[in-house]
């Protein structure tokens, strides 16, 4: 494909801007590890919220949504829409708790909440498990999208795409630290939103698509339009809607939607000025992530069904695509080739921006685990601030190399998504309850992590036994969640609790509420341990959470109905959105920070 001079100017211009931002903040980023990994703990809510959104707006997300829509219709997106529930729970309950904890990384939490060698082991092991292995898998799935875009749009071999895409990202990530990442995220998000919306408008008005009305009436598209799976198809209804809403949101650890917060979401909350900024940032993220962004991707995915109704049509149009990379997710990149000069440059720049935003965040997040939670904690406790920053910069480069190599063997964005879900299945409950049930200990988390990983291997089609693989794929998640949850709860009750002094320190700093701490309160009273009482009402937090959920879902589906031409339903849903916003504003005043 030949890009016009204007396209190249736009693309190269963004590269230059990103490098300049990295250079601008590099000196300040190198002054301390807290500055490099947490941007000095003084970031405002709006920058942090946009940064969270930009990170989840990765190059593989439009590909994933396209894959889902082409195979399971618009309703198939409930597989990730359901995570809004845990997102809003994080906003109004866990964001405040994380900020009160005062930890530098979410892994430092383990030795704040738990005691003994098992707590230290858990922190060190997860630093490598999450910060390196799991993080590399996530970045590889994002890089896979870059590879497919490079193959279709530029005819590049996979290794060349990874080389070109990685160099600048690693450069400004290693120079500017989290502050550089957050500042570039802001620009990247604006470019990505403008690019996706402009692309959607242009593509649905292509002659072969015929405009929005013709698109929605196309026989390849109409079966895919339902927002809720057809109840008459009970199998599809259960797997696409019931399981995600009833089980998946609380039980599965997935990056960006961790039950109780974690990963780079926790990193952003910990870098906020205060609790109020942490809550506001996470709320902005969830509203934008779920209500604002999906429809441009969905429309392009639906349009791809008109132009490329099946995989064979994609294969015929792009015969040079390697067979191992062929999949429905290619529909998004294929449709972008129809864009005119200038707009094509903006959209390509937006995809590059999406890739760089996500990768830079994961590089900084993963390197913080390596530097803080492994190197300083276990290798060299007396390491200077400068040394920690250098370790972070070196690990940034190495993480990118590993991710690029792993990306070369992946094939599908949706397959990668399913792998991540299975590996994290069943661990979510322990991440939620560790704040509110005093009996949860380090062995609880170790058990959940080990059992969920074993279950993922058993259900992996290339290694799992026949009797496990005989379980339908959509129900494998339930088995993993059930077995993992039973295992970690059982181990919790059979092992000794965390040291009482450690629990008291944690309780007094975080001040968790709920009946789950009543048992420890009785012990503290007998032992003469002083506990501070919590200020605030859990009921108010839950009301705010439910209002937030209503706002997002009603806005998401209201916009959908508007696009579908169902004006009366759209007006009702958008009115519900407005009323819920007003109620949330009133409830906000009653929240405690």
pLDDT in tens, 10-46: 878 877 887 777 677 766 766 677 777 767 678 889 9
pLDDT digits (tens, 9 = 90+) for 404-419: 888 877 766 566 666 7
Among 95-99, 279-283, 395-399, 473-477, which is the least confidently predicted range? Answer: 473-477
539 CA to centre of own chain = 27
Asked whether 73 and 227 are in contact (CB, 8 A), the reply is no
For residues 79, 81, 86, 88, the Cα torsion angle rounded to the nearest 10 degrees is 180
Whole-number pLDDT of residue 120 = 94
Q: Greatest CA separation found in the chain?
A: 78
Query: Residue 40 has what DSSP assignment?
Result: G
Whole-number pLDDT of residue 418 = 67
Whole-number pLDDT of residue 445 = 93
For residues 259-288, average pLDDT: 87
For residues 7-11, average pLDDT: 80
Q: Can you read off the two tokens belonging to residue 226? A: 């339902």
Whole-number pLDDT of residue 343 = 82
**CATH superfamily, domain at 5-414:** Sodium/glucose cotransporter (1.20.1730.10)
For residues 560-588, average pLDDT: 95
Rg value, the chain, Cα: 24
Highest-confidence segment of 27-31, 153-157, 260-264 = 260-264
Exposure string over 228-254, b if 16+ CB within 10 A, otherwise e = ebeeeeeebbbbbbebbeebbbbbbbb
**DSSP string computed for 521-568:** HHHHHHHT---PPPPS-HHHHHHHHHHHHHHHHHHHHHHHHHHHT-HH
Whole-number pLDDT of residue 324 = 64
Among 56-70, 236-250, 403-417, 568-582, which is the least confidently predicted range? Answer: 403-417
pLDDT digits (tens, 9 = 90+) for 175-221: 767 777 787 788 878 888 888 899 999 999 999 999 999 999 999 99
The H-or-E segment that residue 365 falls in is: helix 343-368
Q: Can you read off the two tokens belonging to residue 539? A: 């009921």
Asked whether 8 and 346 are in contact (CB, 8 A), the reply is no
Whole-number pLDDT of residue 115 = 92
For residues 265-283, average pLDDT: 87
d(CA 217, CA 472): 33
Q: Let me know if 267 is exposed, middle or buried by CB neighbors in 10 A (0-12, 13-18, 19+).
A: buried
d(CA 559, CA 551): 12
Asked whether 169 and 356 are in contact (CB, 8 A), the reply is yes
Taking each helix axis from N to C end, the angle separating 45-56 and 343-368, rounded to the nearest 10 degrees, works out to: 110
Q: Let me know if 159 is exposed, middle or buried by CB neighbors in 10 A (0-12, 13-18, 19+).
A: middle
Q: Which of 469, 427, 473, 475 is nearest to 451 (CA)?
A: 427
* Residue that is written with structure tokens 């048992």 in the block: 519
Q: How far is CA 489 from CA 253, 323, 427, 486, in A?
A: 17, 44, 11, 5
d(CA 89, CA 265): 13
Whole-number pLDDT of residue 414 = 61
Which is more confident, 275 or 212? 212
pLDDT digits (tens, 9 = 90+) for 473-502: 667 888 889 999 999 999 999 999 999 999
**Has residue 325 got a pLDDT over 70?**
no
The H-or-E segment that residue 466 falls in is: helix 466-469
Confidence (pTM)? 0.85
Highest-confidence segment of 317-321, 515-519, 533-537 = 515-519
**DSSP string computed for 226-261:** -SS--TTSHHHHIIIIIHIIIIIHHHB--TTS-TT-
For residues 128-144, average pLDDT: 83
Q: Let me know if 27 is exposed, middle or buried by CB neighbors in 10 A (0-12, 13-18, 19+).
A: exposed
Cross-strand bridge partners of residue 434: none
For residues 533-550, average pLDDT: 85
d(CA 84, CA 63): 20
Helix (H, G, I), strand (E, B) or coil at 116: helix
pLDDT digits (tens, 9 = 90+) for 433-477: 999 999 999 999 999 989 998 888 887 665 566 655 567 666 788
107 CA to centre of own chain = 17
pLDDT digits (tens, 9 = 90+) for 44-63: 899 889 988 887 776 667 88
d(CA 176, CA 167): 14
Asked whether 434 and 462 are in contact (CB, 8 A), the reply is no
Q: Where are the domains of the chain?
A: 5-414, 537-592
Which is more confident, 320 or 63? 63
Whole-number pLDDT of residue 485 = 94
Q: Can you read off the two tokens belonging to residue 382? A: 């007396």
The dihedral region occupied by 471, where left means phi > 0, alpha psi between -120 and 50, and beta the remainder, is beta
Cross-strand bridge partners of residue 272: 43
**Has residue 399 got a pLDDT over 60?**
yes
Average pLDDT score over the chain: 85
Whole-number pLDDT of residue 239 = 84
Whole-number pLDDT of residue 533 = 75
**DSSP string computed for 429-450:** HHHHHTTT-TT--HHHHHHHHH
End-to-end CA distance of the chain: 54
For residues 364-368, average pLDDT: 85
For residues 165-169, average pLDDT: 75
């Amino acid at each position: 494909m030949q890009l016009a001079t204007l396209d190249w100017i736009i693309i190269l211009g963004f590269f230059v801007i990103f490098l300049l931002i990295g250079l601008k903040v590099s000196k300040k980023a190198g002054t301390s590890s807290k500055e490099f990994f947490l941007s000095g703990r003084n970031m405002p809510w709006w920058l942090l919220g946009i940064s969270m959104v930009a990170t989840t707006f990765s190059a593989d997300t439009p590909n994933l949504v396209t894959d889902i829509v082409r195979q399971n219709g618009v309703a198939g997106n409930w597989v990730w829409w359901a995570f809004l529930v845990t997102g809003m729970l994080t906003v109004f309950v866990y964001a405040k708790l994380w900020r009160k904890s005062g930890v530098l990384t979410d892994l430092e939490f383990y030795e704040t909440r738990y005691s003994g060698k098992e707590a230290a082991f858990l922190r060190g092991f997860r630093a490598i498990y999450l910060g390196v292995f799991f993080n590399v898998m996530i970045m590889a799935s994002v890089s896979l999208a870059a590879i497919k875009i490079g193959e279709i749009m530029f005819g590049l071999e996979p290794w060349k795409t990874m080389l070109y895409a990685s160099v600048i990202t690693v450069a400004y990530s290693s120079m500017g630290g989290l502050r550089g990442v957050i500042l570039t995220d802001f620009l990247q998000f604006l470019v990505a939103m403008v690019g996706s919306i402009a692309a959607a408008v242009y593509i649905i008005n292509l002659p072969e698509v015929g405009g929005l009305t013709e698109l929605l009436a196309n026989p390849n598209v109409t079966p895919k339009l339902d927002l809720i799976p057809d109840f008459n198809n009970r199998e599809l209804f259960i797997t696409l809607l019931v399981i995600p809403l009833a089980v998946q949101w609380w039980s599965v650890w997935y990056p960006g939607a961790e039950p109780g917060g974690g990963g780079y979401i926790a990193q952003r909350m910990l870098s906020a000025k205060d609790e109020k900024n942490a809550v506001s940032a996470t709320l902005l993220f969830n509203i934008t992530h779920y209500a604002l962004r999906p429809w441009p991707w969905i429309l392009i995915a639906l349009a791809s069904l008109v132009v490329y109704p099946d995989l064979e049509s994609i294969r015929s149009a792009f015969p040079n695509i390697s067979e191992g990379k062929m999949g429905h997710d290619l529909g998004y990149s294929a449709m972008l080739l129809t864009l005119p000069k200038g707009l094509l440059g903006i959209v390509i720049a937006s995809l590059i921006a999406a890739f760089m935003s996500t990768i830079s965040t994961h590089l900084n997040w993963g390197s913080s685990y390596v530097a803080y939670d492994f190197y300083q904690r276990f290798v060299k406790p007396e390491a200077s601030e400068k040394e920690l920053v250098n370790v972070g910069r070196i690990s940034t480069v190495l993480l990118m190399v590993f991710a690029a190599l792993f990306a070369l063997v992946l094939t599908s964005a949706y397959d990668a998504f399913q792998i991540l879900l299975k590996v994290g299945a069943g661990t979510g409950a322990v991440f939620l309850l560790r704040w509110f049930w005093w009996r949860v200990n380090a062995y609880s988390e170790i058990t959940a992590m080990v059992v969920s990983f074993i279950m993922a291997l058993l259900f992996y089609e290339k290694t799992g036994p026949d009797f496990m693989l005989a379980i339908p794929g959509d129900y494998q998640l339930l088995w993993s969640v059930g077995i993992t949850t039973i295992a970690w709860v059982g181990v919790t009750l059979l092992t000794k609790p965390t040291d009482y002094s450690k629990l008291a320190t944690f309780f007094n700093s975080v001040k968790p509420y709920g009946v789950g701490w009543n048992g420890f309160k009785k012990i503290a009273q007998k032992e003469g341990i002083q506990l501070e009482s919590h200020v605030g009402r859990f009921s108010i937090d839950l009301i705010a959470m439910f209002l937030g959920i209503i706002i997002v879902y009603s806005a998401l589906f209201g916009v959908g109905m508007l696009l579908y031409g169902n004006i009366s339903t759209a007006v009702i849903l958008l009115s519900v959105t407005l009323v819920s916003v007003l109620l949330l504003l009133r409830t906000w005043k009653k929240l405690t920070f």
